[in-house]
Amino acid sequence: MTRSTRPLRAFAVALLATASSLAAAGMAQAAPAAPTDVVTYDAPGSESADWSTDNDLDATGYWTPERMRNAIPVDSDPEAAPDPAFLQLPPDTSLLSAPVAPDSPPVDLTEPVEPASGESPTMLLGNQVYVPITTGKVFYSVGSNDYVCSGSSINTPGKSMVATAGHCLHAGAGGTWHSRIAYAPAYSNGTTPYGLWHMKTGTAFNGWTDRSDARYDYGFFIVYPLNGRYLVDRVGGNGLSYNRGTTNKGVRIWGWPAAAPFDGSRPYHCDGDTFAYGTGGDMAMNCRMNGGSSGGPWMTSTSSATVGRVFGVTSRMTTSGPARLISRPFNADVVRLYQTLE
């Protein structure tokens, strides 16, 4: 029996045309990732749900007291420092601007909570300085070099979240995620009295990871439990607040500055009011803290000496003129970034 090949040939041509059309449509629909797209990263290493170690030691054996003391702010390293344009507005930009009002009323997304462990909510350091144990120092490595930032614990259903800056987790455009990321609440001169909590999963905006755009310099990460306990149960957690705009009164910023004249051995804080900085939605506050304070919490509505509501994190500092720290108020996009991990 003779079979015509024309229908089969016609079908093959039609199939090819359909595939070409679909490919063209796919290419037409493909678009560059938006700066507010969320990027997540699972840290390599142990998948254990519990690090079993003494609270003042690092279970991996890497972060010794000496290594922690010697870690430096990334902007103190000429080979790894961010582009100066990231740290300072262009010269022709007005430093002060009209306040930027939030699009919606301020929202308190999560409530602050004291430690469930019965721990004292503050730790006394030298010179009668009390530091809330819901703030701490962030350590990380890039290649063979060790660096520092600051961070804070956030009360979430999972009880394991730390807020910091995006550049404390990822190197930005052309770079990769940092390694050996760990959080030390109330760090003091090489000691970690409340343990060293290793990152399990981190998240940042594409606007930072692909573009090094300071407008998206936010980061959150989840830490493993330590000795069968969750971070927030051990040290407490701050609330998370957003839509507060650029002008806020009674703000406290915590950080572990590590560039001269500071040495990163202890925390400092600045109290004051925030104001609009530039025209892009940034806020600033007068403060002399410097490298190492990146990622530290901007807190308002403190409910005790320990906890408050975090509505921003330190992203940059001025490099000339009055000493100021710079942040951007949390908004609905940052909430989505946070919710990716919960």
pLDDT digits (tens, 9 = 90+) for 303-314: 666 789 999 999
State residue 44's pLDDT score: 87
pLDDT digits (tens, 9 = 90+) for 5-38: 333 333 233 333 444 444 444 445 556 789 999 9
Backbone angles phi, psi at 253, to 5 degrees: -115, 125
Query: How many CB atoms lie under 10 A from the CB of residue 300?
Result: 21
State residue 301's pLDDT score: 76
Distance CA 222, CA 233 (A): 14
Q: Residues 103-124: what's their mean pLDDT?
A: 75
| pTM (2 d.p.) | 0.84
- Model confidence at 125, pLDDT cuts 50, 70, 90, reads low
pLDDT digits (tens, 9 = 90+) for 103-113: 578 889 898 89
What tokens appear for 289 in the block?
A: 């803290």
Backbone angles phi, psi at 72, to 5 degrees: -125, 160
Residue from 173, 192, 176 nearest 184 by CA: 192
Instruction: Label residue 90 exposed, middle or buried (CB < 10 Å: 0-12, 13-18, 19+).
Output: exposed
Over the chain, what is the mean pLDDT? Answer: 82
State residue 30's pLDDT score: 53
Residue from 46, 67, 41, 262 nearest 145 by CA: 67
Is it the case that residue 41 has pLDDT exceeding 80? Answer: yes
- Model confidence at 189, pLDDT cuts 50, 70, 90, reads confident
